[in-house]
Amino acid sequence: MENNPNLEQQLSQYRYIKEQREMFQGQFEIINASLGNLYTTKLTLDNLKEGVNENDEILVPIGGLTSIKATIKDTKKVLVYVKNDTIIEKTVEEAIEFISKLIDQHNTQLKFLQERIFNLDLNLQSMNQMLQSRMTQQ
């Protein structure tokens, strides 16, 4: 096979688009996992609002596969991490609203990433067909 600069450039572009696709796929998986955590948090807040009373005993995860028993002191307020090092006290309703907005943002990001991945897949597919055709001609 002769050294064709145009073919090398197309192969390089194909690899670049493939790397972009993998990057977007990684972002999609991270946001999707975070979305799952948000849904779990919202469900927990809904349950707190509906059926947990003061002095009820609950399990509180403390990391890994471990939890401790705790007693609810206040069913009206929760502490919400709004940034890495910032916690704000909110009512359960305010926390549900905050989490719901985050869920909406995550869904918007996932939709954007799905569209990007789909378009990159189309590009990769057409480039792959073109490259295979060119390589069989040489």
CATH number of the domain that 24 lies in? 1.10.287.370
Q: How confident is the model at residue 121 (pLDDT cuts 50, 70, 90)?
A: very high
pLDDT at 13 over 50: yes
pLDDT for 1 equals 45
Report the distance separating Cα 61 and Cα 14, nearest Å.
45
Q: How many domains does the chain have?
A: 1
Q: What is the pLDDT of residues 42-75, one digit of tens each?
A: 998 998 888 888 899 988 889 888 999 999 998 8
Supply the pTM of this predicted model.
0.81
Phi-psi region of 37 (alpha: psi -120 to 50; beta: other; left: phi over 0): alpha
Q: Are 75 and 53 in contact (CB under 8 A)?
A: yes
Check pLDDT > 70 for residue 107: yes
Amino acid residing at 84: N
pLDDT band at 130 (very low <50, low <70, confident <90, very high): confident
Q: How far apart are CA 124 and CA 118, in angstroms?
A: 10
Segments forming the whole domain that contains residue 67: 5-137
